[in-house]
Structure 1
Amino acid sequence: MNAQPKIRIRGLTKSFGPKKVLDGIDLDVETGTSFVIIGGSGSGKSVLLRCILGLVTPDSGSIEIDGEDVLTASGKRREELERQIGMLFQNAALFDSMTVADNIVFGLRAQCRAQHKRLSAAQARTQAGEILRQVGLDPSVGALAPSELSGGMQKRVGLARAIAGTPAILFFDEPTTGLDPIMGAVIDGLIVDCVKRLGSTAIAITHDMASAQRIGDRAAMLYQGKLVWQGLASELMHSGNPMVDQFTHGRKDGPISMELRR
């Protein structure tokens, strides 16, 4: 592994009023690996992701990409660092007013602007078709509206848009939510394939334990704003940590349920 991780987080905190959502998060994500974060609703997973994306400003701590703290970087430099990131949102979040192809071209043009390159309409359409093939869709799908697609197809298009700019970092927010088990496995396979092919570093948040093990190299669990466990994703179902074991096996009794009864 590299001495310097692609993403290094130290002492990250965030509160909303009296509620402390993140409470001293320390996390390293090595270059070219996939890291999965699990945890119940309200544990801080989404807030952590938004902090890294620059959508939420933490109260304290540091977030480094390639050794550079994005929180103290200049506005222009911070934008450059954040342009390295591609994102697959929970519900795909496609632009309804655009065709499938235009959604993907949106991602392509954003990357071209960042690299000060020009992309003709013909080049954009050709590349969009190639990216659709990479996620298992025929280029003809590009002419459709997002509303004409099934949930699984929307996820594929969302993934296509996320990888369009060949990002160094990919984020996945509950990538299998709303999908049946077979389609969930298909989407996970596409994610793993895309991450490996691009050589990207990935972070995913999920409630789906099968998905977590398929996607992740390493994993962590958030509980009450703290990382209570970190280890190999393959160890999620037999971590030896009471909180992780209760969560991954869906047991109603345990240290987490005692907290919920208060």
Structure 2
Amino acid sequence: MTGTPKIRIRGLRKAFGSKQVLDGIDLDVEAGTSLVVIGGSGSGKSVLLRCILGLILPDDGTIEIDGVNVLTAPRRQRETLIESIGMLFQNAALFDSLPVWENVAFGLLAKNRARHGAARLSRAQARDRAGEILAQVGLDPSVGALSPSELSGGMQKRVGLARAIAARPDILFFDEPTTGLDPIMGAVIDGLIVDCVKTLGSTAIAITHDMASAQRIGDRAAMLYRGRLIWQGQAGDLMSSGNPMVDQFTHGRREGPIGMELRR
């Protein structure tokens, strides 16, 4: 054990024009733990994930994965680190033009195409592998032959989760995993997320507005407000943090230190 966090962020800043979205974020995520990030719309949650994924270049700061700064690492090393991340998008983000099994195996097939001389995965093998992963998220492998448009919202979330875990990633990101789901299906998806994270031994970061979900899937929690981390602690303490801003947010109170702001 080196004590190096799986993900280590220091001084992260990102602005869009005059809007400072991330304003000096310092954050550690230990290997094998799940962190939930909460905060209002526009607080910087999604931008934080996209910076780690390399989809947005921050203005300042460092992002380390396994002790390597992904912002300054050589291209191939950076790509390898980013490839170790699986992502469940807010609306599943499935490809309507592909059957479910190919959505699940999309990353595996993409890596297959990039191989040179190494053992290649046939489409039949990829389809079988997709069926196994669908079973892990509670779907019959026969679902693989369907189109995403034929699935309910809950089933689409499960397929999105299956795709996220297909390559057995070291890190998993979840963007509002229960959005659009009823409370029962939300609890089902949360349970699947917890099971998948534990089975893989992955490190996870989730962003959510759902406080029940946050407590179910998180070991630790953090709250963003105006681009700054204003609180970090155990996810089980979210509803009784003692921080007036966190308490107002988690209990959905209109009155409190967080005022309604005009969106620009």
Could you tell me the TM-score, scaled by structure 2's length?
Answer: 0.96
Find the aligned partners of 2:2 and 2:217 in 1 and give their Cα distance: 21
Aligned to 1:88: 88
Aligned to 2:29: 29
CA deviation after TM superposition for structure 1 residue 159, in Å: 0.3
Find the aligned partners of 1:241 and 1:117 in 2 and give their Cα distance: 54
CA deviation after TM superposition for structure 1 residue 120, in Å: 1.1
Deviations 1:159-185 (A, max 9, x none): 000000000000000000000000000
Find the aligned partners of 2:137 and 2:194 in 1 and give their Cα distance: 11
Task: Look up the SS of the partner of 2:5 in the other structure.
Answer: coil
Aligned to 1:158: 160
CA deviation after TM superposition for structure 1 residue 260, in Å: 3.0
1:170-181 alignment runs, 5 A limit: 170-181=172-183
Structure 2, unaligned runs of 5 or more: none
Find the aligned partners of 1:99 and 1:170 in 2 and give their Cα distance: 23
Find the aligned partners of 2:70 and 2:106 in 1 and give their Cα distance: 24
Find the aligned partners of 1:121 and 1:111 in 2 and give their Cα distance: 13
1:12-91 alignment runs, 5 A limit: 12-91=12-91
CA deviation after TM superposition for structure 1 residue 108, in Å: 1.9
Q: Runs (4+) of structure 1 moved beyond 6 Å?
A: none
Deviations 1:181-226 (A, max 9, x none): 0000000000000000000000000000000000000000000000
Aligned to 2:246: 244
Percent of aligned pairs sharing the same letter: 78
Aligned to 1:98: 98
CA deviation after TM superposition for structure 1 residue 2, in Å: 6.0
Q: 1:201 to 1:110 in 2, by over 3 A?
A: farther
Task: Look up the SS of the partner of 2:156 in the other structure.
Answer: helix
Q: Which amino acid letter does the alignment assign opposite residue 151 of structure 1?
A: G
Find the aligned partners of 1:227 and 1:205 in 2 and give their Cα distance: 13
Aligned to 2:141: 139
CA deviation after TM superposition for structure 1 residue 117, in Å: 4.1
What is the Cα-based RMSD across aligned positions, in Å?
1.5
Find the aligned partners of 1:117 and 1:211 in 2 and give their Cα distance: 40
Structure 1, unaligned runs of 5 or more: none
Find the aligned partners of 2:35 and 2:119 in 1 and give their Cα distance: 32
Find the aligned partners of 1:206 and 1:105 in 2 and give their Cα distance: 26
Find the aligned partners of 1:44 and 1:72 in 2 and give their Cα distance: 23
Task: Look up the SS of the partner of 1:166 in the other structure.
Answer: coil
Task: Look up the SS of the partner of 1:260 in the other structure.
Answer: coil
Task: Look up the SS of the partner of 2:108 in the other structure.
Answer: helix
Give the aligned length. Answer: 261
Find the aligned partners of 2:84 and 2:132 in 1 and give their Cα distance: 21
Deviations 1:87-145 (A, max 9, x none): 00000000000000010121222344677541012211111100000000000000000
Q: 1:195 to 1:35 in 2, by over 3 A?
A: same
